[in-house]
Amino acid sequence: MRASTFRRLLNVWPPFFFNSIRLLSLDDDYTEARVVLRLRPWNRNYVRTQFGGNLFAMADPFWMLLILHHLGKDHFVWDKAGTIDFVAPGRADVYAHFKLEPDVIDELRNAAAGGEKVLRWFEIPLKTAAGEVVATVRKQIYVRLKPRER
Which pLDDT score, from 0 to 100, does residue 1 have? 86
Within a 10 A sphere around the Cβ of 126, how many other Cβ atoms?
Answer: 26
Give the mean pLDDT of 126-139: 98
pLDDT tens digits, residue range 73-119?
999 999 999 999 999 999 999 999 999 999 999 999 999 999 999 99
Which pLDDT score, from 0 to 100, does residue 149 have? 81
Measure the CA–CA gap between 150 and 146, rounded to whole angstroms. 7
In 1-150, the DSSP E strands lie at 21-26, 32-37, 75-86, 94-99, 118-127, 133-145
Which domains are present in the chain? Answer: 3-149 (3.10.129.10)
Tell me the pLDDT of the chain averaged across its residues.
96
pLDDT tens digits, residue range 47-82?
999 999 999 999 999 999 999 999 999 999 999 999
Taking the mean position of all CA atoms in its chain, how far away is CA 125? 11
| φ and ψ at residue 77, rounded to 5 degrees | -135, 115
Q: Is 109 helix (H, G, I), strand (E, B) or coil?
A: helix
pTM over 0.85: yes
Within a 10 A sphere around the Cβ of 137, how many other Cβ atoms?
Answer: 22
| φ and ψ at residue 81, rounded to 5 degrees | -155, 160
Closest-CA residue to 109 (of 74, 63, 62): 74
